[in-house]
Amino acid sequence: MVDFKKYRERLDNKIGEAKAADKVLEVPWWDVVIKDLNLMSYYFAHDIGVESTHKGGIDSKAVVDKGRYKLPFEEWSHGRLTALNLILSYGLGFQNCKFKRMKRAIHTKVRKSDF
């Protein structure tokens, strides 16, 4: 199974490294976050490709047949974009759930203290 948590934590670390949690500064954002997202999409697509072809304990790589040539899944543009989409969706979904839990906890504490 693809380890989504590993990629989300890596994305969070890169956003922190670029000091972009509140505001995006273009140069650090590009140099740190975007470049690492590119690498993450490669490895994530590779993980998806290996996982999708894993049969009977034998690891092999997914190959996209383009007719005249074949591409590993991580070198296919659709595979990379799918990987990028999954990394970002999971990361944003996690942050959204975390924010909702914090908001709920604050609301609960305020209500209890009113009594």
For 89-109, how does the pLDDT look when each residue is reduced to its tens digit (9 = 90+)?
Answer: 888 887 777 667 766 766 666
Q: How far is CA 78 from CA 1, 41, 65, in A?
A: 20, 11, 13
Residue 24: give the domain boundaries.
4-113
pLDDT of the residue at 39: 94
Burial class, 45, CB count within 10 angstroms (exposed 0-12 / middle 13-18 / buried 19+)? buried
97: its two tokens: 């759930």
- Average pLDDT on 39-49 reads 90
This prediction's pTM? 0.69
Q: How many domains does the chain have?
A: 1
Q: Kindly calculate the radius of gyration of the chain based on its CA atoms and give it in whole angstroms.
A: 19
pLDDT of the residue at 109: 60
Contact 49, 14 (CB under 8 A): no
Burial class, 22, CB count within 10 angstroms (exposed 0-12 / middle 13-18 / buried 19+)? exposed
Contact 75, 69 (CB under 8 A): no
